[in-house]
Structure 1
Amino acid sequence: MQFDAFAQQKAIDAKPKKISPDLFGIFFEDLSYAADGGLYAELVQNRSFEYNPADNRDWNSMTAWKYQTDGFGYGTISVETANPIHQNNPHYILLDIQDAGQKGVGLENGGFDGIPVRGGKYYNFSVFLNVISSQPLPLTVSLVDTKGRELGTASFTASAKGWKKYSEKIKVNFDEDSAMLQLLVKSPGKVGIDMVSLFPEETFKNRENGMRADLAQTIADIKPKFMRFPGGCLTHGDGVANIYHWKNTIGPVEQRVEQRNIWNYHQSVGIGYYEYFRFCEDIGAKPVPVVAAGVSCQNSGGTWKIGSTGQKGIPMEDMDAYVQDILDLVEYANGPVTSTWGAKRAAAGHPAPFNLEYLGIGNEDKITGVFEERFRMIYDAVHKAHPEIKIIGTVGPSPNGEDFDKGWKLANQLAVGTVDEHYYEKPEWFLKNTSRYDGYNRLNSKVYVGEYASWGNTLFNALAEAVYMTNLERNGDVVRMASYAPLIARIGHTSWNPNLIYFDGKHVFPTVNYYVQQQFASNAGDEYLPGIINFTSADTTAGASCVKDSVTGDVILKIANAGSTQLFGTANLAKLGKLAQKATFTIICGDAKVANTAAHPAEVLPKTTVINMPKQWKFTVPAYSLSIVRIKAGK
């Protein structure tokens, strides 16, 4: 991969160059309760009674539920599997109410650390019921506070033999951060209960089975060019049986196949592939699904360390079917409504294609013979059937080493269009490796930095990443894409730190790193302009880039200073043609150790003003700062 790097870099920096228009995006993985209890707007936990000890040794079908008999009613409750809604959703609750008492007998759910509701808002409740007794059953569904005060309620009657969905709208009259949902049967009888659901009426873009509005909007505000999903380690799973299969996640939610999460909790797959594609479309990001390369995570079995050997391969006799599943995924995303899988997309509510352009195969896998054989099978089949799809390979979990070298060797042999590099390192590593991609051969595979972070959420961490990102722009002809990871994490349930965005049931807390990512993604360009910005002295803790957005004609300057002293420099704009005489100037700065936290969420925020922009701009940037200057094309 190395050759005359100095000569190459001197040549490519001598004149403007086209860079990837998809450079800065996001990576979503369902860890740290990012989906259920997070981005997914469902407020009921364990809505289908499918939790079990395989998810978490302390869990069972009644986790998050309470049998409610406060009004002196009585009967029996049991978890059954004999006659479920669907074979993919085998567990349900059977209530046999012998005396309904004063209030009724039923179930209570506390959601994810309580159900937050707001007075004056409406919430959409639904449940599947199977009335087994001979008489119709009156029911109430209520939201109550911790003292039992009713916040909002609705009543209905269930009479259908066999499973039927019932839906009600509940208006909440009071604010409550830790409400509980109660479903009570008001007369004696026997009934099966499953898929107990509560959504806020206001989801992101008002989508049915949608996303939590405030959290989704925070993600959308990054203005990412792409979104990788459904995960990294989650994708190839904890053992072959736990590999993520996209077909299990589409169709009616009550028919989807739930499964254990590799991060030791449960996936309802309420956010399935349809919802992922739809969310990408809603935020203007290109979808980048990642499928397992026919092998499980090398850390399967709980051995989480570099070079672990828990990797297992899908049996070769099953690989043809697995490869076909991946080809079917492309058809689901892009096929016409007359195709088998395009028709399923249309039936879900999206007859137009999702315009899939990228497909990842594998996730930081150990590059073994088992992996290589299966990767080749998948790559060859997809490349042959869909040469229009840009395939992203993988080169292991580290920025160097045996798997990295083997992964690159395989990518070069197959001429894989892009490979996925991952690295989580100290901030000092990012400052010392700003020339990492200078010597990469421009004729080889392009790079997707699919996961990176600098092990912290202080301003210094964010600025070290910013310095590095200016150099990703400088090498934007070889680095096609980059995404910080992980994206979001629920406070109190974090599987990994740091994260870009933290949240609880009521609030969202963007980190300083978030604002850096936002500034780069929303101020991206597709042409790199060399030699525009010059510092008056060399500094290894600083970085700068100048890019142009060919769509708007805007020129964007980025100057990152992760050092403890102010920096001076000049920007020569005279050779860039006619530009506006004023520019928007955005700065992020502060103390190196400061961080945005739940207790102090706004310690460091971007501040934007308008400044005069001369052709020869002499600038001074503060210590520990990122400055963004956006200049519109002149008229």
Structure 2
Amino acid sequence: MEKLLKKPLIYLFLVGCLGAQQVFAQTKQGGKPISPDLFGIFFEDISYAADGGLYAELIQNRSFEYTPADRYGWNSFTAWEYVTKGFGYGAISVESQLPIHANNPHYARLTIEEPGQEGIGLQNNGFDGIPIKKGEQYNFSLFTRLLSATPIPLSVQLRSRKGDVYGEVSLNADAKEWKKGSGVITAGVTDDSAVLVITAKERGSLDIDMVSLFPVKTFHGRANGLRADLAQTIADLKPRFMRFPGGCLVHGDGLGNMYRWKNTIGPIEERKEQRNIWSYHQSMGLGYFEYFQFCEDIGAKPLPVVAAAVSCQNSGGTWRIGGTGQKGLPMDEMQDYINEILDLIEYANGPATSTWGAKRAAAGHPEPFHLEYLAIGNEDKQTPVFRERFKLIENAVKQKHPEITLIGTVGPFPAGEDFEAGWKFANENALQVVDEHYYEKPEWFLEHKHRYDSYNRSKSKVYLGEYASRGNTWFNALAEAVYMTGLERNGDVVRLSSYAPLLARTGHTSWNPNLIYFTGTTITRTPNYYIQHLFSNNAGDRYYAGIVSLDNEVNTGASCVKDSKTGDIIIKLVNAGENKVKAKASIASLVAPHANAAVTVLTENTTGKNAPAVAIATSQLEAGKVINYEVAPRSVVLIRVPAKK
């Protein structure tokens, strides 16, 4: 207190920005504690983010479950072709009498009346083609059931669209009950649009289902795993948490389309597929086990989102005609639904001897996944139907699992009726954390960089679960960077944040902008990605006010945090304007004098079409008691000063 009184101007500045209580706490402890989980990621199966994206399966519609309900014009043979070259003939049909499992009701029946010179069979075209690399190996598998008297040899080939053979494996259909066959195909060439062809060269009849092709080199070598390069691009962000599996995907397009986590675990042939609210299909190959495992592999805390027992208020509206809007599960079904959520927590955290912990162990993970967060609902309309069901779920979870941090929701916008009603409900019920969402123009983010300065620290914390500035230009990224310095400044009330959406397959986007765009062979990191990468890779757990000053507060932002694990002081300077800005950082009390600081500068890359979106320059400077730095227009500067020795 005496030191503060000797510097009244600094004291008044700090009180104005933080409030007296925060200033005293910061002075006493050396900075104020902020959330160590501030920067994370949000994964939703939108724009082919899962099937055809992060999930490494290369076969589309592998179990013949596509229907016109998924998308107009689709059917059980979408992405498949009937192959009858070489004067062969027979018949192909889709059947459902005796499936592998009730959750997987459809399969293909192939009858070979005359195999001809090349046999007859099926060709799968993948997702915009099947990308293969010369010398790489691919795990192939399928289920067959023999209907005729004698075994039927099968040839499985990777081919060009013109018919050139790139690699092959041979199998036999020889069992009267469903039987899995597998083999490894080595690609002889590189081709970004190959096809897979299964042919039978003897007369007979058989059933085929669950045709699968995976690169052997998945992320971390996981079976039923993830696309290695795309998963690594996400891992490079070093997210503190991952929210999954949605989004609007969670509460779905009507009650019958709600995402039910139990349908996504166990053997893939027993998982229950369904249409996607974004008008395509979910194989559920990327299910809850795989989500938890990916979180563990990248060091991110899992943050699953479950529906609050209501459907999306937009059900049938934005996506379909004649929808119902928000509807709640019947009250006589609520206890079963609550038990489903409690079972999820047991699946994640229970011992291997528990009912659901045993299922996790059977999948290959006897140790718990250490679930800390659980979100209930997703930008739901604040209605009595929603609130009644939310409270039933929240009370049950809190009673049985008080160790879990529950996250509520306050609608899809940064203001308005649902936002106000959601916060009122949160305050009345003392919710731990609430989820805010907003997509706005970049100018909005610049104008609202102080949004959280005035939030009440004694009430619900904030998870900024979805935000983006409606574009992927460098200016969009700069506006988000300015805003993110405000998230760090308010990291005592903003506990979590994640840009959205994360992934989009080029040519199949349901929403724009996105953080990462991809095709079967390419990955495009947007300018926004580089900003998220910089902040997440240089996060802290203590914030220092009054350390950094700028001579222009318009379209600029600055923050100073400490990473307690390394002891480093991390300064971020953002200038989204068109003129130079002078920054001054008084760090004498935080670091050793004359420390050798690392400097990273991000600017727009204008060198060419195929160049990365952002230019990154690194250098060093000697950090004395004061750092004076001139921030160039439209740039982001990171100064990382090593710990005191």
Scaled by the length of structure 1, what TM-score is found?
0.96
Q: Give CA deviations for 1:201-252 in whole Å, capped at 9, x if unaligned.
A: 1000000000000000000000000000001100000000000000000000
Larger mean Cα displacement after TM superposition, 14-23 or 460-469: 14-23
Following superposition of structure 1 onto structure 2, how do residues 273-292 of structure 1 map, counting pairs within 5 Å? 273-292=288-307
Counterpart in the other structure of 1:563: 577
Letter in 2 for 1:135: T
Matched, 1:441 2:456: yes
Structure 2 residue identity aligned to 1:199: F
The aligned counterpart of 2:8 is none
1:622 and 2:632 matched: yes
Name the structure 1 match of 2:566: 552
Percent identity for Structure 1 against Structure 2: 61
* Contact kept in structure 2, 1:290 and 1:361, CA below 8 Å: yes
Structure 2, gaps ≥5 residues long: 1-14
Give me the whole-angstrom Cα distance separating, in 2, the residues matched to 1:491 and 1:442: 42
Check whether the contact 1:260–1:266 (CA below 8 A) recurs between aligned residues: yes
Pairwise CA distance, 1:634? 3.2
Task: Choose 604-613 or 168-177, whichever is displaced more.
Answer: 604-613
Of 553, 556, 560 in structure 2, the residue corresponding to residue 539 of structure 1 is 553
- With over 3 angstroms needed to count, the CA separation of the structure-2 counterparts of 1:223 and 1:8, relative to structure 1, is closer
In the superposition, relative to structure 1, how do residues 612 and 8 fare at CA in structure 2: closer, same or farther (>3 Å)? Answer: closer
Cross-structure match for 1:429: 444
Structure 1, 554-563 or 609-618: larger mean CA deviation = 609-618
Query: Contact 1:579 / 1:631 at 8 angstroms: preserved in 2?
Result: no
Matches within 5 A, 1:111-126: 111-126=126-141
Which residue does the alignment assign to 2:590? Answer: 576
Superposed CA deviations along residues 152-192 of structure 1, whole A, max 9, x for unmatched, are 11112221111011010001111111100001112111100
For 1:179 and 1:34, how far apart are their aligned partners in 2? 21
The residue identity in structure 1 corresponding to 2:559 is S
Determine the C-alpha separation between the residues in 1 that align with 2:611 and 2:200.
44
Deviations 1:272-330 (A, max 9, x none): 0000000000111000000000100000002379xx97111111111110010000000
1:585 and 2:595 aligned:
no
> Partner residue of 1:606?
616
Quote the Cα distance in structure 2 between the aligned partners of 1:6 and 1:340. 54
- Over 3 Å counting, the alpha-carbon distance change for 1:614 and 1:457 in structure 2 is same
* Cα distance in 2, alignment partners of residues 473 and 297 from structure 1: 32
Structure-2 residue corresponding to 1:336: 351
Using the size of structure 2 for normalisation, the TM-score is: 0.95
Of 433, 437, 456, the residue aligned with 2:471 is 456
The letter of the residue matching 1:619 is Y
Distance 1:284 1:439 in 2: 32
CA distance in 1, matches of 2:99, 2:511: 36
Q: What is the identity, as a one-letter code, of the residue corresponding to 2:252?
A: G
Residue 590 of structure 1: how far off its partner (Å): 2.8
1:108 matched to 2:123:
yes
CA distance in 1 between counterparts of 2:81 and 2:499 reads 39
Q: CA deviation at 1:71?
A: 1.7
Deviation at 1:601, TM superposition (A): 4.7
Kept after mapping to 2: 8 A contact 1:544/1:560 = yes
Give the aligned partner of residue 132 of structure 1.
Answer: 147
Out of 17, 30, 46, the residue aligned to residue 45 of structure 2 is 30
Specify the SS of the correspondent of 1:151: strand
Contact kept, 8 Å, 1:133 with 1:190, in 2: the verdict is yes
Larger displacement relative to structure 2 (11-20 or 560-569)? 11-20
Change in CA separation of 1:587 and 1:379 when aligned onto 2, cut-off 3 Å: same
- The 5 Å alignment of 1:253-332 reads 253-303=268-318, 310-332=325-347
SS in 1 for 2:451: coil
Which ranges in structure 1 are unaligned for 5 or more consecutive residues?
Answer: none
Pairing 1:502-541 to 2, within 5 Å after superposition: 502-535=517-550, 537-541=551-555
Amino acid at match of 1:628: L
SS at match of 1:633: coil
Q: What is the aligned partner in structure 2 of residue 9 from structure 1?
A: 19
Per the TM alignment, residue 369 of structure 1 is displaced from its structure 2 partner at its CA by 0.6
Q: Distance in 1 between matches of 2:130 and 2:77?
A: 17
Task: Tell me, yes or no, if the aligned pair for 2:17 and 2:453 is still in contact at 8 Å.
Answer: no
SS in 2 for 1:173: coil
Q: In structure 2, what is the Cα distance between the partners aligned to 1:304 and 1:544?
A: 41
> Which of the residues 405, 424, 428 maps onto 1:409?
424
CA distance in 1, matches of 2:141, 2:107: 15
- SS in structure 1 of the partner of residue 424 of structure 2: helix
Asked if the contact 2:254/2:324 (under 8 Å) is kept, the reply is no
Contact 2:113–2:204 (CA under 8 A) maintained in structure 1: yes
Q: Secondary structure at the match of 1:438?
A: helix
In the alignment, is the contact (CA less than 8 A) between 1:240 and 1:295 conserved in 2? yes
State how far apart, in whole Å, the 1-side matches of 2:225 and 2:17 are.
52
Q: 1:134-157, CA deviations, whole angstroms, 9 ceiling, x for partnerless residues?
A: 101111100001211000111122
> 1:8: how far off?
5.4
- Which amino acid is the alignment partner of residue 37 of structure 2? D
Residue 304 to residue 149, structure 1, CA distance change in 2 (3 Å)? closer
| Separation (CA, whole Å) in 2 of partners of 1:414 and 1:262 | 31
Aligned to 2:508: 493
* TM-superposed deviation, 1:132: 1.1
**Aligned pair in 2 of structure 1 residues 338, 69: CA closer, same or farther (>3 Å)?**
same
In 2, the alpha carbon distance for the partners of 1:500 and 1:615 equals 38
- How much has 1:613 moved relative to structure 2? 2.0
Secondary structure of the residue aligned to 2:141 is strand
1:150 corresponds in structure 2 to 165
Deviation at 1:551, TM superposition (A): 1.0
